[in-house]
Each structure stands twice: as structure tokens, then as C-alpha cells.
């Protein structure tokens, strides 16, 4: 018996092989359905002895050894380059497959130095029934395993070139993937710095925000802008596109907002019209964003806001009533001629304001249900006693539990609560 033999759970050997084959196709075009050789079968008398032969004499590697049923097991080995899975199967007595032991397998192994391989394997006791022989296309040899199953061993100038080209392609692909991963990590770090790094202190309001991206970078955006004189702007947006494309548009929008936000106190409509114009001029035709921009006055508790096509934020009053801060303007970046309308609300102690993106409301359960606005309201009503930081965490926990699958969209949430009366 071979010591330290890896064992795969009985019902999972086929799943493991699928993952193994897919891992080898990482450099291929993932947009197309993967197609490759699953395995090549060689029939043997004693699987344990065959394992020893292929590992100790040929230098193969054992990758699967698992029972298929009470009478047989699945054993698979791969050559050093992992190019194909060789299944070593022991046929049951009285079956046709039993007659295939000791036959020509038709399997050809390739090497770039057949003479060296011939010497190495012969010294290990591998039986060659044809030594390396020159052929019009290269060099050919045949050898037998312990059950007299015959294999080909070949070398050719064209094969050496092919192997070298394959190695170069693999190394080049690895380098491309390494650089892409490195650049993506840099992009992630840069984007993380675009989100608020501090929260200006307010006397009458406590607040917190978070963005959990579905990919390393994304298109959701939130911000806290200190407008001075006890005024703070809350911003949340959802940019068209995901990944790098969405992240670039998000950075563009943030730059437009932060470079001009001093105008918001003076004339909120003029400020957002200017933001739209710059966003329209500096983004592709399909680029746009939904945006909610609100200016909160700490002294009075007044909230002046513009909703540019974004999901209506929810204002849960201390008396249990609910208000939606509906859209009064269209999305940003789609039209050169654009206008907006501002609205106002007044916050009183105990009021809770929720700003969010559709990654929360459109989170999908396994049975196809959406978390929805109702799910969000239910969580807030049930957990209204929590601090805004803990309430924010609780909402994200509920969404994650509800969805119970890989996150499909960016999730962004801002929670604010009026804590005592303004002057």
C-alpha cells in the first residue's frame, strides 16, 4: 500500500475532478463553455500496485482515491504537468473490461528528451518493448506498466517547440493575471480612500455609513461633506456599471461633487446642475448615476434634499409613521439640459433616516423573493433601540442571511438618527 494516500469523500470524487479540470482552464476564454478531456481509463489488476508503479517509476501524482461503491473505487493519477487525468480502474470479474487489461492503451506521453527519460525509467525497472527509435516525424518508444498495458513515449522537434510555446503562454498568462490582480488591489485601495474617512461631529444627529462591494471595486457611492457653519451633506449614489467601469464613474462623480460642494449652501439647485453638466461631459453616453443629496442643518434639524432618480430614502418618525423622500428630479449624466427641485423635512428626536442602494432591497432569497423595502423597514422597527452603528450592522446581517448566496450587487447604507431637539 502507498502511505499517506489522499482520500476524497465518496460522493464528491466527480465534483473534485470537475474543479480540477476547471482550474486548468483558468487561462482560457471564460465566456465560452469549458470543454476538455475529463480522464483516460486504463484497466489494471491491482490498483494499489498500479499506484506505486505510476508514482514511484513514472513520477506521476495521485490526485483521487475514493470508493465508488462497495466493490470498486476510483483512482486517478496525473503526470507531472497535470495535463490529463489517468483513471486506473479495476474491472469486476466476468466483465468485458477484464479483457482489456494488458492491451494497447493508445495513450501517448510526450517528452522533450526521450533518451534521458528512457535511461531514467529503465533504471527504475520500467520495461520498454521498443527503445527510442527515430521516425520521420521524431523519436518513438513504447513501454509497459505492471499489467502489460502498452503506452507510447514520443519526442519531436515540433513537440519541443510546442511545449516551449505552451510554457511561455502559461507563464505569460500568469504574469497577466498577476499584474491584473495587483492593479485591482491598488484600485481597491484607492477607491476605499474615496469613501468618508471621518465623520464631522453633529450635536443633534448621530450617523454612520458603509459600502460592501460585490466585486473588489464597484459603482456605489456614499459621502459625508462638511459644508461648514453646522451644515453637513449626506450623499448616496448608484452609478451605472460594475467593476472597474463603475468605479471610474464613481470617482468622476465624487470629484465633481467634492470640487464644488461649497456652492450647495448658497444654491443647491445650481450646484447640482453644475455637477450634472460636468458628469455629462466627462462620461460615456451610457454613463449615468442616481443620486440623493441632502443638506442637514445641525442647529435647526432641517433637512433640505434633492433626489435625482435614486431609491427614496426612508424617514421613520419617532411616532411610528413612515415618510419616503421621493425623487423630484431625473438621473445625473444622461441629459445636458437638466434641472432639479429641492424639498425639505424636519427631523425631531427619535427620527431615523435610511439612505440605501438597490443592493439591499433587491437582495434575492433562494426561492426568488426580494428583501425589499418592507424587509428593511421591519428590521429598523424591530431594532430601533440600537445605536446607528449597531443598527447598520444588523441590517447588513439580515440582508446577508436572507440572501444566503454570493452577493450579486454592491450594498450601500447610511443610517442617521436625531438624538435630541435642535435649538
Among 159-173, 289-303, 353-367, 400-414, the least confident range:
159-173
Check residue 422 and give its pLDDT.
Answer: 53
Q: Does any domain span residue 213?
A: yes
Q: Does any domain span residue 179?
A: no
Q: Does any domain span residue 227?
A: yes
- Highest-scoring range by mean pLDDT, 22-26, 262-266, 382-386: 382-386
**Calpha distance 339→328 (Å, rounded):** 10
Q: In this structure, are 360 and 390 located in the same domain?
A: yes
CATH number at residue 127: 3.10.180.10
Closest CA to 45 of 1, 11, 89: 89
Closest CA to 126 of 154, 109, 145, 105: 145
Taking the model in full, what pTM does it have? Answer: 0.60
Among 7-11, 190-194, 378-382, the least confident range:
7-11
CA pseudo-torsion sign 403, 251, 256, 265: positive
Q: In this structure, are 235 and 384 located in the same domain?
A: yes
Rounded to an integer, the average pLDDT of 258-285 is: 89
The secondary element (H helix, E strand) that includes residue 414 is: strand 411-418
DSSP annotation of 53 = I
Q: How many domains is the chain built from? A: 3
Mean pLDDT of the chain: 86
Mind giving me the DSSP string for 165-193?
HHHHHHHHHHHHHHHHHHHHHHHHHHHHH
Q: Does any domain span residue 117?
A: yes
Q: In this structure, are 48 and 166 located in the same domain?
A: no
Among 151-165, 216-230, 260-274, 388-402, the least confident range:
151-165
Q: Does any domain span residue 325?
A: yes
Q: How confident is the model at residue 198 (pLDDT cuts 50, 70, 90)?
A: confident
Among 50-59, 62-71, 244-253, the least confident range:
244-253
Q: Is residue 15 pLDDT above 80, yes or no? A: no
Check residue 265 and give its pLDDT.
Answer: 86
Q: In this structure, are 141 and 162 located in the same domain?
A: yes
Q: Does any domain span residue 290?
A: yes
> Domain range for residue 42?
1-27+36-101
Q: Which residue has the higher pLDDT, 255 or 34?
A: 255
| pLDDT tens-digit map of 60-105 | 999 999 988 878 899 999 998 887 899 999 998 888 889 999 999 9
Check residue 409 and give its pLDDT.
Answer: 80
Q: Is residue 3 pLDDT above 50, yes or no? A: no
Check residue 150 and give its pLDDT.
Answer: 97
Amino acid at each position: 500500500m502507498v502511505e499517506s494516500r489522499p482520500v476524497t469523500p465518496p460522493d464528491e470524487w466527480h465534483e473534485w475532478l470537475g474543479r480540477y479540470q476547471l482550474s486548468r482552464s483558468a487561462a482560457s476564454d471564460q465566456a465560452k463553455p469549458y470543454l476538455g478531456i475529463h480522464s483516460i481509463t486504463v484497466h489494471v489488476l491491482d490498483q494499489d500496485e498500479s499506484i506505486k508503479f505510476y508514482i514511484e517509476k513514472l513520477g506521476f501524482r495521485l490526485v483521487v482515491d475514493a470508493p465508488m461503491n462497495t466493490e470498486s473505487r476510483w483512482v486517478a493519477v496525473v503526470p507531472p504537468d497535470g495535463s490529463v487525468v489517468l483513471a486506473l480502474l479495476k474491472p469486476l470479474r466476468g466483465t468485458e473490461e477484464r479483457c482489456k487489461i494488458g492491451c494497447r492503451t493508445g495513450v501517448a506521453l510526450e517528452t522533450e528528451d526521450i533518451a534521458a527519460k528512457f535511461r531514467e525509467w529503465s533504471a527504475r525497472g520500467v520495461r520498454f518493448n521498443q527503445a527510442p527509435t527515430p521516425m520521420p516525424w521524431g523519436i518513438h518508444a513504447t513501454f509497459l506498466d505492471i499489467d502489460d498495458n502498452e503506452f507510447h513515449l514520443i519526442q519531436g522537434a515540433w513537440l519541443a517547440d510546442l511545449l516551449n510555446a505552451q510554457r511561455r503562454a502559461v507563464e505569460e498568462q500568469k504574469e497577466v493575471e498577476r499584474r491584473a490582480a495587483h492593479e485591482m488591489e491598488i484600485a481597491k485601495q484607492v477607491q476605499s480612500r474615496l469613501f468618508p474617512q471621518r465623520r464631522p461631529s453633529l450635536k443633534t444627529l448621530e450617523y454612520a455609513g458603509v459600502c460592501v462591494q460585490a466585486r473588489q471595486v464597484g459603482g456605489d457611492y456614499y459621502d459625508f461633506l462638511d459644508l461648514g457653519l453646522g451644515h453637513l451633506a449626506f450623499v448616496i449614489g448608484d452609478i451605472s456599471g460594475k467593476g472597474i467601469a463603475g468605479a471610474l464613474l464613481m470617482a468622476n462623480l465624487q470629484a465633481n461633487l467634492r470640487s464644488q460642494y461649497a456652492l450647495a449652501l448658497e444654491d443647491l439647485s445650481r450646484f447640482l446642475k453644475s455637477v450634472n453638466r460636468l458628469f455629462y461631459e466627462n462620461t460615456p453616453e451610457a454613463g449615468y448615476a442616481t443620486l440623493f443629496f441632502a443638506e442637514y442643518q445641525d442647529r435647526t434639524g432641517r433637512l433640505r434634499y434633492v433626489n435625482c432618480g435614486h431609491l427614496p430614502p426612508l424617514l421613520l418618525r419617532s411616532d411610528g409613521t413612515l415618510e419616503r423622500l421621493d425623487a423630484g428630479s431625473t438621473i445625473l449624466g444622461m441629459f445636458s439640459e437638466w434641472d432639479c427641485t429641492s424639498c425639505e423635512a424636519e427631523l425631531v428626536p427619535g427620527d431615523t433616516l435610511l439612505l440605501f442602494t438597490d443592493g439591499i432591497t433587491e437582495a434575492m432569497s433562494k426561492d426568488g423573493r426580494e428583501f425589499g423595502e418592507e424587509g428593511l423597514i421591519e428590521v429598523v422597527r424591530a431594532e430601533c433601540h440600537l445605536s446607528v452603528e449597531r443598527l447598520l450592522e444588523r441590517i447588513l446581517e439580515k440582508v446577508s442571511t436572507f440572501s444566503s448566496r454570493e452577493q450579486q450587487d454592491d450594498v450601500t447604507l447610511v443610517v442617521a438618527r436625531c438624538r435630541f431637539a435642535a435649538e
